[in-house]
């Protein structure tokens, strides 16, 4: 019966109830959307970054000491590579040539990245999807995205202007963005072919594949000590650490934006507090009457809490539904996919949001309910 | 909440005041609303309380209605000394043994006539299973059945008071407390209501205590208690 009375009171003041409900809806939708978006971003990034957690990347240090060194100071010499290989032994050390070039496939002109690797090293870093690994000198393997965008098949011919042309022997599996190399958007050729075509002796970077992740720090230190004894010649990067940092940062940003959403819910709670207090004040005499005819304090409290609960229930459920729709829309627009939406770690935000919406409403109703229940019946009867 | 009857409250009288004093502490100075009031009201009596404004008659009624407790003295309601009773216990007393009739009717505006009558019973039993009982009570109040589903705003003053009396009766209390029950009604309707109350007293044995300033209304009572400046005269 108290619930029924609460329900009728909410209906009686439907406009201000509606406005309070609107506040809850906005609060819930904000929290849930921010949470889902943040979580989806973290998941999307985790997925698209290739899991090369077991690599150390050594790149030439681009220092501020003069531009006079020319190209040679931005690359790693054979000697450098040998030193690195010794420092990193027994782990696999892969020297990499990289560059970009205009490419012509059939009649299409495009630009792509090009990597030069020793044929033996290629299977260590990359997986072939179609065709085969490099065998001959003038072959090339094409990255998954590059192949799709330019309609390249095994057997196609890619011309790199005056540098020459290569025949595609294999299409690579999609790898995702990595910190070492990004073959998805380019091609891979034999190192000697690259060296000749680009007239480049020295390497752009060296990748070290560490088998046991626990040894990464050791190997990093070893390379650093060997190469950077007198001055910083190379930068040594450990991809796992970067990945962790990125994910953590995005996670923190996501939490931050969700908290901002929470603030809007607090505002909604204040509006519920406000209208509940108004409700109590308007019904002081009525409260006096029901108290005099035998209603307990706790029953009066319950009646008003039900009112706040009704507002919260309606607002939170509508908010929950809307945020699912909103999350869907935002995912489609920002990530072009909803695969990160319907996973538990994202959907749980709906539970959080609805829960917080309900909780906020109840908490906001606590003081007004208490105030109503503690009114002196005699004075209340005399009111108005 | 069944308590043993307190020794100082014997079972003869249904309401007993012994040297009851009620003082309201106000910033401007304490107000003595009741000053050493002693009186007995027997079961089945119809009492009118009369006195000028500020005489303490409302306070007297409030104390009888367990809406307040004495500052000193003994007050027994139905054999129970209400001194030291918790708010919860007093509320149960009001729910089960007392019926309230107000000058301004004081029906709950969002409930229909029938629902208003059901309210105290639901408080007591927690269920709405009183339809028959509640309808009977309303019928006994000579209220047209068509009006049972009407909200108070759709009823006349006389009709509202009938519903209010029905509400006060639904838990079958022994004592009815009426504060100027005809104050907001015209003479004819007021007389009809008074007949109702007299009938409840005569034929249903209800003890009725009524505050009024109208001598013609007071005529319906067996006895008049006059109070001036917090003292019974």
Which of B158, B150, B202, B138 minimizes the C-alpha distance to B176? B202
Q: What percent of chain A has pLDDT over 70?
A: 94
Confidence of residue A278 (pLDDT cuts 50, 70, 90): very high
What local confidence, expressed as pLDDT, does residue B1 receive?
47
Q: Which of A239-243, B156-160, B218-222 has the lowest mean pLDDT?
A: A239-243
What local confidence, expressed as pLDDT, does residue A241 receive?
78
What local confidence, expressed as pLDDT, does residue B125 receive?
86
Please write the tens of the pLDDT for every residue from A167-212.
888 898 888 777 778 888 888 999 888 888 888 888 999 998 887 7
Which of A231, A205, A179 minimizes the C-alpha distance to A115? A205
Cβ-Cβ contacts under 8 Å for B30 (sequence gap 6 or more): B23, B24
Average pLDDT over residues A114-136: 86
Best residue of A4, A293, A378, A380 to probe chain B, by most B CBs closer than 10 Å: A293
Q: Nearest-CA distance from B171 to chain A in Å?
A: 10
Nearest-by-CA chain A residue for B179? A381
Q: Which residues from A are below 8 Å from B101, CB to CB?
A: none
Nearest-by-CA chain A residue for B105? A289
Average pLDDT over residues A366-377: 94
- On whether the CB atoms of residues A31 and A258 are closer than 8 A, the answer is yes
In whole angstroms, what is the distance from residue A255 CA to residue A41 CA?
12
What local confidence, expressed as pLDDT, does residue A299 receive?
94
Q: Which residues from B are below 8 Å from A293, CB to CB?
A: 94-95, 100, 119-120, 123, 167-168
Please write the tens of the pLDDT for every residue from B1-47.
455 566 677 767 888 988 999 999 888 888 898 989 999 999 999 99
Q: Pick from A285, A286, A292: which is nearest to B67 by CB?
A: A292
What local confidence, expressed as pLDDT, does residue B153 receive?
94
List the beta bridge partners of residue B72: B21
Please write the tens of the pLDDT for every residue from A255-275.
888 888 889 889 999 999 999
Q: Is it the case that residue B167 has pLDDT exceeding 90? A: yes
- On whether the CB atoms of residues B141 and B167 are closer than 8 A, the answer is no
Q: Do the chains contact at A297 and B100, CB–CB below 8 Å? A: no
Best residue of B90, B110, B115, B122 to probe chain A, by most A CBs closer than 10 Å: B110
Q: Do the chains contact at B100 and A5, CB–CB below 8 Å? A: no
CATH number of B13-232: 3.40.50.300
Q: Nearest-CA distance from B88 to chain A in Å?
A: 6
What local confidence, expressed as pLDDT, does residue A349 receive?
85
Cβ-Cβ contacts under 8 Å for B140 (sequence gap 6 or more): B166
What local confidence, expressed as pLDDT, does residue A50 receive?
55
Nearest-by-CA chain A residue for B110? A8
Query: In which region does residue A5 sit, left (phi positive, over 0), alpha (psi from -120 to 50) or beta (all else)?
Result: alpha
The answer to whether A333 faces chain B, any CB pair under 8 Å, is no
In whole angstroms, what is the distance from residue A253 CA to residue A263 CA?
16
The answer to whether B68 faces chain A, any CB pair under 8 Å, is yes
Confidence of residue B140 (pLDDT cuts 50, 70, 90): confident
The encoded tokens of residue A349 equal 């935000």
The interface predicted TM-score of the complex, written ipTM, equals 0.91
Confidence of residue A289 (pLDDT cuts 50, 70, 90): very high
Average pLDDT over residues B130-154: 87
Confidence of residue A71 (pLDDT cuts 50, 70, 90): very low
- On whether the CB atoms of residues B35 and B213 are closer than 8 A, the answer is no
Q: Which residues from A are below 8 Å from B68, CB to CB?
A: 378
- On whether the CB atoms of residues A174 and A214 are closer than 8 A, the answer is no
In whole angstroms, what is the distance from residue A344 CA to residue A153 CA?
39
Average pLDDT over residues A102-130: 87
Nearest-by-CA chain A residue for B96? A294
Q: Which residues from B are below 8 Å from A289, CB to CB?
A: 102, 106, 108
In whole angstroms, what is the distance from residue A76 CA to residue A57 CA?
12
Q: Do the chains contact at B119 and A8, CB–CB below 8 Å? A: no
What local confidence, expressed as pLDDT, does residue A72 receive?
44
Using alpha carbons only, what angle is made at residue A241 by residues A237 and A245, rounded to the nearest 5 degrees?
120
Please write the tens of the pLDDT for every residue from A16-46.
899 999 999 999 998 888 888 888 877 777 7
């Amino acid at each position: 019966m108290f619930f029924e009375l609460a329900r009728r009171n909410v209906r009686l003041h439907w406009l201000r109830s509606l406005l309070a409900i609107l506040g809850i809806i906005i609060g819930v939708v904000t929290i849930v959307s921010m949470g889902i978006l943040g979580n989806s971003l973290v998941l999307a990034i985790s997925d698209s970054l290739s899991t090369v957690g077991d690599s150390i990347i050594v790149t030439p240090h681009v220092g501020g000491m003069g531009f006079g060194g020319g190209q040679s100071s931005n690359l790693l010499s054979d000697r450098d590579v040998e030193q690195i290989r010794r420092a990193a032994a027994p782990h696999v050390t892969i020297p990499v040539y990289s560059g970009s070039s205009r490419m012509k496939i059939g009649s299409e002109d495009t630009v792509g990245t090009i990597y030069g690797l020793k044929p033996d090293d290629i299977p260590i870093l990359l997986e072939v999807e179609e065709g085969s690994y490099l065998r001959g000198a003038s072959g090339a393997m094409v990255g998954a995205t590059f192949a799709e965008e330019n309609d390249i098949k095994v057997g196609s011919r890619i011309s790199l202007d005056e540098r020459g042309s290569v025949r595609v022997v294999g299409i690579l599996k999609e790898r995702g963005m990595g910190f070492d190399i990004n073959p998805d958007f380019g091609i891979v050729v034999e190192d000697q072919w690259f060296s000749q075509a680009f007239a480049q002796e020295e390497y752009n970077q060296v990748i070290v594949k560490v088998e046991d992740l626990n040894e990464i720090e050791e190997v990093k230190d070893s390379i650093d000590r060997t190469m950077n004894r007198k001055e910083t010649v190379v930068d040594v990067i450990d991809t796992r650490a970067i990945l962790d940092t990125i994910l953590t940062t995005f996670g923190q940003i996501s939490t931050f934006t969700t908290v901002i959403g929470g603030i809007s819910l607090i505002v909604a709670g204040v509006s519920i507090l406000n209208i509940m207090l108004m409700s109590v004040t308007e019904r002081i005499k009525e409260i006096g009457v029901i108290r005099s005819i035998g209603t307990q304090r706790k029953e009066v409290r319950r009646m008003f809490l039900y009112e706040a609960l009704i507002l919260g229930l309606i607002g939170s459920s509508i908010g929950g539904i809307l945020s699912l729709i909103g999350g869907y829309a935002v995912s489609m627009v920002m990530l072009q996919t909803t695969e990160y939406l319907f996973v538990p770690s994202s959907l749980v935000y709906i539970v959080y949001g609805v829960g917080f919406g309900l909780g906020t409403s109840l908490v906001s109703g606590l003081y007004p309910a208490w105030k109503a229940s503690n009114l002196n019946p005699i004075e209340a009867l005399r009111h108005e | 909440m069944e308590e043993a009857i307190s020794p100082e409250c014997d079972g003869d009288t249904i309401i007993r005041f012994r040297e009851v004093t009620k003082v309201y502490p106000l910033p401007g100075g304490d107000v003595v609303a009741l000053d050493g009031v002693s009186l007995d009201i027997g079961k089945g009596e119809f009492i009118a309380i009369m006195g000028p404004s500020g005489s303490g008659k409302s306070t007297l009624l409030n104390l009888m209605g367990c809406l307040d407790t004495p500052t000193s003295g003994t007050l027994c309601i139905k054999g129970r000394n209400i001194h030291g009773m918790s708010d919860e216990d007093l509320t149960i007393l009001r729910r089960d043994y007392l019926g309230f009739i107000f000058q301004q009717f004081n029906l709950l505006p969002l409930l229909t006539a029938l629902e208003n009558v059901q309210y105290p019973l639901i408080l007591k039993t927690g269920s709405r299973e009183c339809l028959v009982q509640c309808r009977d009570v309303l019928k006994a109040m000579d209220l047209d059945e068509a009006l049972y589903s009407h909200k108070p705003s759709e009823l006349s003053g006389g009709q509202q008071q009938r519903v209010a009396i029905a509400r006060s009766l639904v838990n079958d209390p022994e004592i009815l407390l009426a504060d100027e029950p005809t104050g907001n009604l015209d003479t004819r309707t007021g007389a009809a209501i008074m007949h109702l109350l007299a009938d409840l007293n005569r034929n249903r044995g209800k003890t009725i205590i009524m505050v009024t300033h109208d001598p013609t209304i007071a005529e319906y009572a067996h006895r008049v208690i006059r109070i001036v400046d917090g003292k019974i005269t």
